[in-house]
Amino acid sequence: MKVRGSNEQRKWAESARKEETSSKQGKRTEAGEKQQARKEEGSDKEKARKKHQEKRRDISGKWITHQVNKGSILVLHTIAWTTPVEDAWKLNFAAYAPNQHRHAGAGYVLREHHGIFKAARAEPLPNDFSHIEAKLVALDLGLQEAIVQGIDYLEIEGHSPYAMEMVVDDEATLTPSIRSIVHKCRTLLQQFKLVKFHPVAAYANRAATKVAEMATKEAETQRWTMEPPDEIAKILVEDMTGFWESLYY
């Protein structure tokens, strides 16, 4: 009887242990399933967050195309400013040709290495100035400004590669009307330690173009230092931070 009772107790204890082990395993499995569910939920949230970020990047990216009737509009987010070489300052120059409603105008904008405004000038010109002459005058005046500011390194931007080529190419064919101003620009360039010419698209030269346009409405020279005129202040900011441009096609 003692043996039988002892065997029954052992069987009962063994059965109890198995039930306890099974219960623990069940709890561990349930806990594991809950943990896995939390991971999957977190993963789904992370995927949703990344998808939302990608959507925002698409919206604020370089281009978005919208259908407009049968055509399309291409919306570009453009940053015009590029940092000059070395510790150079940047000079942008432009001109407006004369017509029956206005006289010619030349303009430049000078900014330091990090894009901070330093000087600008709107120069009204006589009606007998051609467009290329007006551009060369703008460059000449801008070079003089840079020298006055004590600049050794200069990067020159403009959307007139032809004007730049005439100044840097000693073998360029010069008409009598521009020969004098070209030689003057070449002489001024020799006073810098380093000069880089950088032809740009019109959008990257908007500030200088606006100043040149302002010159066509002025009777006298207008010059600004340290504080830009209101007409170009917004453009200078947009050059650095970017602006939206719409193209139809």
Tens of each residue's pLDDT in the chain, 249 residues: 444 445 555 655 566 566 655 555 555 556 556 666 666 665 665 565 555 444 433 433 333 334 444 457 766 777 888 989 889 999 999 999 888 778 999 999 999 999 999 999 999 999 889 999 999 999 999 999 999 999 999 999 999 999 999 999 988 889 999 999 999 999 999 999 999 999 999 999 999 999 999 999 999 999 999 999 999 999 999 999 987 766 666
In a domain, residue 237? The reply is yes
From the number of C-beta atoms within 10 Å of its C-beta (0-12, 13-18, 19+), residue 71 rates as exposed
Q: Tokens for 115?
A: 């894009």
Domain membership flag for residue 68: no
Same structural domain, 166 and 230: yes
Backbone angles phi, psi at 160, to 5 degrees: -130, 80
Q: In the listed set 41, 60, 79, which residue is the last one of a domain according to the structure?
A: 60
Shared domain check, 135 and 240: yes
Regarding whether 158 and 206 lie in a shared domain, the answer is yes
User: Which amino acid is present at 122?
Assistant: A
Full-prediction pTM beyond 0.85? no
Q: Detail the DSSP E strand segments found in 169-227.
A: 194-199, 222-225
- Residue 76 forms part of a structural domain: no
CB atoms within 10 A of CB 112: 15
In a domain, 99, yes or no: yes
Q: Which amino acid is at 40?
A: E
Answer yes or no: do 205 and 94 share one domain.
yes
CA distances from 61 to 70, 87, 171, 209 (A): 24, 30, 44, 27
Number of folded domains that form the chain = 2
Domain region containing 25: 1-60
In this structure, is residue 73 part of a structural domain? no
Same domain for 93 and 40, yes or no, is: no
Does residue 13 lie within any of the structural domains?
A: yes
